[in-house]
Amino acid sequence: MKKAVAVTLAGIVLLSAGLFFPRPVAAHDVGHCYDDYDACRARAFNMDTTVFKMTLALTLCDIALGRCILGFGQQEV
């Protein structure tokens, strides 16, 4: 019984990995992501605001970079 549960869970993990992992992004797309990231960080450092808001802006830049690299929100052409 334990083997059946282990095999079933392994199958579910492999199936979900195959279905839900994003497609790879081309190298030129990733370069565009880093260009946007550098511009975002420059704008965040040039903000005339508190440290908390600047830290929040930098965190949002990091999240946007991750989304861009993983290809979330991009439409297939």
Average pLDDT over residues 43-62: 93
Instruction: Tell me what pLDDT residue 67 has.
Output: 86
Q: What's CA 12's distance to the chain center, in Å?
A: 23
Whose structure tokens read 């991750």? 66
Pull the structure tokens for residue 24: 């790879």
* Intra-chain end-to-end CA distance of the chain, in Å: 47
Dihedral sign (CA 40, 43, 45, 50): negative
Query: Quick check: 52 pLDDT over 90?
Result: yes
Contact in structure between 36 and 68 (CB atoms under 8 Å): yes
* 59-75: pLDDT as tens digits: 999 999 988 887 765 55
4-44 tens-digit pLDDT: 889 898 888 887 776 666 666 566 678 888 999 999 999 99
